[in-house]
Amino acid sequence: MFKNIILGIFLLVSTFFVAQNTAMSGAEAKAFVTKVSSETKEIKTLQADFVQTKKMDFLDKNIITSGKMSLKSPNTLSWKYTKPYQYSIIFKENKIYINDQGKKSSVDAKSKTFEKINKLIVGSSNGKMFSDPEFAVAYFKNGTSNIAKFTPKSAQLLKYIKQIELHFPKNQTTVSQVNMTEASGDTTNIVFKNTKINAPIPASEFSL
Amino acid sequence: MRRFLLQSFLYSLIFLLFVSCKTYKLTDVKSVSNFEKTVENLYFSSNEDYVYKCQMDIYKNHVSGILIIKKIKETTHRVVLTSDFGNKLIDFEVSENDFKLKYVLPDLDKKIVINFLKNDFQELLRQRYPVNESFENENSKIYLSKIDKKNYYLFFNKENNLLKQIIYTKNNKEKIDFSFDAKKHIFADSLNLQHKDFKINIKLFQITETE
């Protein structure tokens, strides 16, 4: 009995918190997508620091890695981890260049997994994901952010990922946070900081 | 032409036989009397999270990611490999006699891959070794442990008593060579797992203690 009361209170409290993210109306969602899509068209380059947090239910501590990302329109991307280890991956002209703690390699960007990663990262930073036919999108808002939740439509993709959540701060057209939920329920959360739009990026940033 | 092919086939067969017949033997060691009844690999014995940056080379494929090992019961470990981006590649529970696959990325879902990982981690996470014979050389105390048809040679550094190498042999043939780099007995800073019969190599560097 006592347990049920506690559970009841817990459910109430959690609904309260969840309720803070309210669904957008159809018109609101349409306006949001139009605004983000048109403004991201103006983005030629994008740079940001990121912190990636991996949560798994059986671990005592989260696994935190961090680094820097640079994006040059239309599809050159550098994603570099600098802490606690060095690992860089660069997508450029249909090739993928990797520097794994000094071990350099390159592959053709034909691998399905890499393609998905590239699409995911590039897509989530330029708003093109909204029209990706692989996903169903639902729109929410809270006091500070607009939130787009992507759910894969195909059973095949659901084996990889259950949901991707993109947070757009209300005064910003680029993503400040990505939350990914895997089929198992584990989450990976990436927070972007010090975002710079259209600042020049030295070419060296896109080579190993 | 056919004769040539047959000949070269025979030669390579002989060569293969010769190579695979090579037996593992300790050299330049002297036998010492048995003091220890059992020795232990304590590098994964704590209940805390063990987190490693992982580089795997399986023939020509290079796999990079983060490897997490956690002791969840007295004899069972949970092992998870994620990509650098955080998504899970494989997740399983393993003990000496048991293996439970919890998740595998569809692209990696191949019996041969899973069996390799199962066997490698069963060996890596084996904690207790009964001692059958003891040896020493200039730098190391060496214990031979025999379990079924498997022989394990465990090398402990004489100065700090830390386990630095395990050579696993089956039917006297060297199968896997595990090398450890450590400052304390319950935690390896890095380790290298090298198959002697296949081109498989796994390197781990600790990222558990970062701050």
- Listed residue (B55, B54, B52, B35) closest to B43, CA to CA: B52
Contact A161 B87 (CB under 8 A): yes
The answer to whether position B104 is within a domain reads yes
Is residue B14 domain-resident? no
Inform me whether the C-beta atom of residue B109 falls under 8 Å from chain A C-beta atoms: no
Helix count and strand count (H, E) for chain B: 2, 15
What is the reported pLDDT for A15? 46
**B36 within domain boundaries:** yes
Which tokens go with B33?
A: 């009397």
The answer, yes or no, to whether residue B204 has pLDDT greater than 80, is: yes
Q: By the 8 A CB rule, do A84 and A93 touch? A: no
Nearest CA to CA, how far is A2 from chain B (Å)?
Answer: 31
Question: In terms of Cα–Cα distance, which of B22, B68, B28 is closest to B48?
Answer: B68
Distance from CA of B37 to the nearest CA of A (A): 34
One-letter identity of residue B67: L
DSSP B196: S
In this structure, what token pair is assigned to residue B152? 């394990």
Taking CB atoms and an 8 Å limit, are A182 and B53 in contact across chains? no
Least Cα separation, residue A74 to chain B (angstroms): 22
Distance from CA of B96 to the nearest CA of A (A): 21
Find, in chain B, the residue whose alpha carbon is nearest to that of A81: B84
Which residues lie closer than 8 Å to B151 by C-beta, 6 or more apart?
Answer: B24, B144, B145, B168, B169, B170, B172
Full domain range(s) for residue B151: 24-206
Question: Reading across the β-sheet that carries A63-72, which strands appear in turn?
Answer: A22-23, A135-141, A145-152, A163-169, A177-181, A187-197, A45-55, A63-72, A76-83, A87-92, A95-100, A103-108
Answer yes or no: is A171 within a domain. Answer: yes
Test B210 with A184 for CB contact under 8 angstroms. no
Strand bridging mode A45-55 / A187-197: antiparallel
User: Taking CA atoms, what residue in A is nearest to B91?
Assistant: A184
Asked, for residue A7, whether it belongs to a domain, the answer is no
- Sign of the dihedral defined by the CA atoms of residues B173, B108, A177, A42, in that order: positive
By the 8 A CB rule, do A163 and A181 touch? yes
Q: Name the residue of chain A whose CA is nearest to B105's CA.
A: A160
User: Does some domain include residue B19?
Assistant: no
Q: Is B5 within the bounds of a domain? A: no
Smallest CA-to-CA distance from A182 within A87, A59, A54, A90 is with A54
**Residue B85 belongs to a domain:** yes
Minimum distance, in Å, between the CA of residue B59 and any CA atom of chain A: 15
Chain B nearest-CA residue for A82: B84
Question: Does A111 fall in a domain?
Answer: yes
- B37: nearest Cα among B130, B162, B101: B130
Residue A10 falls within a domain, yes or no? no
Cβ <8 Å between B68 and A63: yes
Enumerate the residues of chain A whose CB falls inside 8 A of the CB of residue B68: 56, 59, 63
Show the CA angle centred on residue A101, arms to residues A100 and A102, nearest 5°: 90
Q: Which pTM does this prediction carry? A: 0.84
**The most confident of A68-72, B77-81, B205-209, by mean pLDDT:** B77-81
Cβ-Cβ contacts under 8 Å, B72 against chain A: 58
Q: What is the spatial distance between Cα A98 and Cα A88, in angstroms, rounded to a whole number?
A: 6
Number of domain units in chain B: 1
A2-to-A5, A6, A7, A11, A16 alpha-carbon distances in Å = 5, 6, 9, 14, 21
Domain annotation covers residue B2: no
Task: Indicate if ipTM > 0.90.
Answer: no
Contact check, Cβ <8 Å, A113/B107: yes
Mutate which of A114, A188, A189 to test chain B, going by most B C-beta atoms within 10 A? A188
Q: Which pLDDT tens digits describe chain A residue by residue (208 residues)? A: 555 655 555 544 444 444 478 999 999 999 998 888 888 888 889 999 999 999 998 999 999 999 999 988 877 889 999 999 999 989 888 788 889 888 888 877 665 655 665 666 666 666 677 877 888 999 999 989 999 999 988 887 888 789 989 899 988 888 899 999 988 889 999 999 999 999 999 999 998 8
Q: Which of B70, B78, B205 is the closest to A85 by Cβ?
A: B205
Q: What pairing do the DSSP bridges indicate for beta strands A76-83 and A87-92?
A: antiparallel
Identify the DSSP state of B97.
Answer: S
- Count up the domains in chain A and report the number: 1
In a domain, B12, yes or no: no
Q: Which domain holds residue A136?
A: 22-206
| pLDDT reported for residue B6 | 62
CATH number reported for the structural domain that contains residue A32 in this entry:
2.50.20.10
